[in-house]
Amino acid sequence: MLDEIYYLVKFANFSHENLIRMPIYERRYYLAKLIQEFEKKKEFTRFIKSKISINKKGIIEVEVLKGQESFRIKSLIKSNNWAIFKSGKENFKKGELIDCFKPLVIQ
């Protein structure tokens, strides 16, 4: 990734916008508080389209969006995050901490 930054600085008109558009090769995981209950099959890990926000207390919250089927576009457009519901557990309660990550964006 350092090579990409070097070439971006050397050959492009360096600006904040160029830096944002750079490919991100690492996904950064973080924990977010689930704001509603979620249920899935115990033996599967699910990557769910979701939306994160920060409440008044500064806590990251995650909302599972409706319409998770692959042909549903609306939830994909509204999402800004992927929530990971790992195998081995069937029911996730409101207030639990869930692993989340931002989608990989390459422009």
Mean pLDDT of the chain: 78
**Number of alpha helices (DSSP H) and beta strands (DSSP E) in the chain:** 3, 7
The predicted pLDDT at position 48 comes to 92
Q: How many CA atoms lie within 13 A of 7 on its CB side?
A: 4
Provide the 3-class DSSP secondary structure of residue 9: helix
Alpha-carbon gap, residue 98 to 84, rounded angstroms: 7
Q: Please report which confidence band the pLDDT of residue 77 belongs to, taking 50, 70 and 90 as the band edges.
A: confident
19: helix, strand or coil: helix
Helix, coil or strand: residue 53: strand
Q: Write down the pLDDT at residue 67.
A: 87
Report the predicted TM-score, pTM, of the whole model to 2 decimal places: 0.68
- pLDDT at 104 > cutoff 90: no
105 pLDDT more than 80 = no
